[in-house]
């Protein structure tokens, strides 16, 4: 059974870099059918798509966050990661990893598997 | 890239039907058949309920139905049940391999 699990520091200081990883279990991150995503949700607010990454390292970013976001993948560890630089209190959120498929025959352009989420608080 | 527009809240009585709208633009909802809907309970991860505008994943009740007209997508829940009380989010493909969510709608079952 495919599972995603986020991990990383729960507290980050303002102006520093937020770093999270997502471990994929039950399937290979090197599947040609899926992209792997980061999505966040500030407390009491809505969802925001942050980034997608393919196992080859191809990335796509939310234009509003692109200047501060870096996504990467480590196929040897079956993990993908997120770095968000110059964080402020506005970046406090639950960060989810998820997957979607751009391939016909799957749940096209929909997030079908999600991690449980990781709360990251930006505070000094 | 602005968030899709959803009503902040909707409500209905058990057994009734409700519809949640999701308004976008010609750059997202209006141009693609890739609208999805998610159900989220407090403290939990979202769950995929509808994909490609109107398709249901295996295991999702047929009480949930999606549709689209122009730049507005809709989620209709029929035969409301107490367990349907949750937050609902729409999401659309927005071109160039990017995606955009709606602001979310809180459904209250009276």
* For chain B, percent of residues with pLDDT exceeding 90: 98
**Cα–Cα dist A38/A53, whole Å:** 9
Q: What is the pLDDT of residue A102?
A: 87
Q: What is the pLDDT of residue A37?
A: 98
CB contact under 8 A, A60 and B97: yes
Residue in B closest to A64 by C-alpha: B1
B22-48 pLDDT per residue, tens: 999 999 999 999 999 999 999 999 999
Stretch B87-101: mean pLDDT: 97
Residue in B closest to A96 by C-alpha: B45
Of the candidates B51, B30, B37, the residue with the CA atom closest to the CA atom of residue B94: B30
pLDDT band of residue A122 (cuts 50, 70, 90) is very high
Q: What is the pLDDT of residue A105?
A: 76
Please give the angle made by the CA atoms of A34, A100 and A50, to the nearest 5 degrees. Answer: 115
End-to-end CA distance of chain A: 39
Q: How far is A37 from chain B (nearest CA, A)?
A: 10
Burial (0-12, 13-18, 19+ Cβ within 10 Å), A24: buried
A55-90 pLDDT per residue, tens: 999 999 999 999 999 999 999 999 999 999 999 999
Q: How far is B14 from chain A (nearest CA, A)?
A: 26
C-alpha radius of gyration, chain A, whole number: 14
* For chain A, percent of residues with pLDDT exceeding 70: 100
Q: What is the pLDDT of residue A106?
A: 83
Stretch B55-82: mean pLDDT: 97
Q: What is the pLDDT of residue A15?
A: 97
Is A85 in the B-facing interface, judged by CB distances under 8 Å? no
A39-62 pLDDT per residue, tens: 999 999 999 999 999 999 999 999
Which residues in chain B are contacts of A49 at CB distance < 8 A?
Answer: 91, 98-101
Q: What is the pLDDT of residue B1?
A: 74
């Amino acid at each position: 059974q495919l599972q995603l699990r986020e991990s990383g520091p729960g507290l980050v200081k303002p102006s520093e870099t937020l770093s999270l990883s997502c471990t994929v279990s039950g399937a290979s991150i090197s599947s040609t059918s899926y992209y792997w995503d980061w999505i966040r949700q500030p407390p009491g607010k809505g969802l925001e798509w942050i980034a997608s990454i393919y196992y080859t390292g191809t990335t796509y970013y939310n234009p509003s966050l692109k200047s501060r976001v870096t996504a990467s993948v480590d196929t040897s560890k079956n993990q993908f990661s997120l770095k968000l630089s110059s964080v402020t209190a506005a970046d406090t959120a639950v960060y989810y990893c998820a997957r979607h498929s751009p391939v016909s025959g799957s749940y096209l352009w929909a997030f079908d598997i999600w991690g449980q989420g990781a709360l990251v608080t930006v505070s000094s | 890239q602005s968030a899709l527009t959803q009503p902040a809240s909707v409500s209905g009585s058990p057994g009734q039907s409700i519809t949640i709208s999701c308004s976008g633009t010609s750059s997202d909802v209006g141009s693609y058949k890739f609208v999805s809907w998610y159900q989220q309970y407090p403290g939990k991860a979202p769950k995929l309920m509808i994909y490609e505008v109107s398709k249901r994943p295996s295991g999702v009740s047929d009480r949930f139905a999606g549709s689209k007209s122009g730049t507005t997508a809709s989620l209709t829940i029929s035969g409301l049940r107490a367990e349907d009380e949750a937050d609902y989010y729409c999401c659309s493909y927005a071109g160039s391999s990017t995606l955009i969510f709606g602001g979310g709608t809180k459904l209250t079952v009276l």
